[in-house]
Amino acid sequence: MADTPEPELPLFIRAMDRLYQACLVVSGTIMVLISFFVAWGVYTRYVLNQGSFWAEPVSIMLVIQMTFFGAAACYRANAHISIDVLVRPLPEGSARWLADRFVDVLVGVLAIAMIWWGWGLVRTTWLQVYPELQQIRVGIVYLALPLSGIVTLLFVIERLLYGPRAGIETDY
């Protein structure tokens, strides 16, 4: 018997796969950078007796990015924090499917709120700068909120149209 090739995934799903991978790479890279920057701050403060002025604020800025893009990736992988005490007792089938889709719609509403109010936050803080790093605008850091909202909304649309992606789900 010849192996039958797997059918090619729709373009939208392949694009979401790439976007998911980008979120993972961004979040993982940021985690490594934060570890380095915090260690550098501790080294300069306690070994050199002159703390690095930039290590802590840059780490905080990066935590914002990691949190929002990591949360979007966790949603797609079904690895996000969830309280399923009401869904777990439901029998497999249409009731559970409907409850899962309701949760997806709620996440979509949250993503739209992130986009709307996040963009307002970016506009409000665009001209503000960080005291420690005058060249970085506060609004640039807060761009993570509406951008990750867009990413999350795309993942919600994918899940509503095609269902959860097999192979990336985790069961914690």
List the structure tokens of 169.
């789900």
List the structure tokens of 16.
């979401």
| Residue keyed to tokens 């992988």 | 77
Q: Is 40 part of a structural domain of the chain?
A: yes
Q: Is 101 part of a structural domain of the chain?
A: yes
Could you tell me which residues come within 8 angstroms of residue 77 by beta carbon, excluding any fewer than 6 positions away? 20, 165, 168, 169, 170
Q: Is 172 part of a structural domain of the chain?
A: no
Q: Is 68 part of a structural domain of the chain?
A: yes
Task: Between 24 and 166, name the one with better pLDDT.
Answer: 24
Give the count of domains, the chain.
Answer: 1
Eight-class DSSP state of 83: -
Residues of the domain holding 132: 11-162
93 dihedral zone (left: phi>0; alpha: psi -120 to 50; beta): left
The fraction of the chain above a pLDDT of 70, given in percent, is 92
Q: Is 24 part of a structural domain of the chain?
A: yes
Q: What is the pTM of this model?
A: 0.87
Q: Is 6 part of a structural domain of the chain?
A: no
Cα–Cα dist 155/149, whole Å: 10
pLDDT tens profile 118-152:
999 999 999 999 888 889 999 999 999 999 999 99
Pair 132, 54: CB distance under 8 Å: yes
| Residue keyed to tokens 């959860």 | 164
Instruction: Write down the pLDDT at residue 4.
Output: 66
Q: Is 71 part of a structural domain of the chain?
A: yes
Q: Is 171 part of a structural domain of the chain?
A: no
Cα–Cα dist 67/27, whole Å: 8
Rg (CA), the chain: 20
Instruction: Write down the pLDDT at residue 166.
Output: 66
Tell which residue, 27, 31, 54, 53, has the closest CA to residue 144.
27
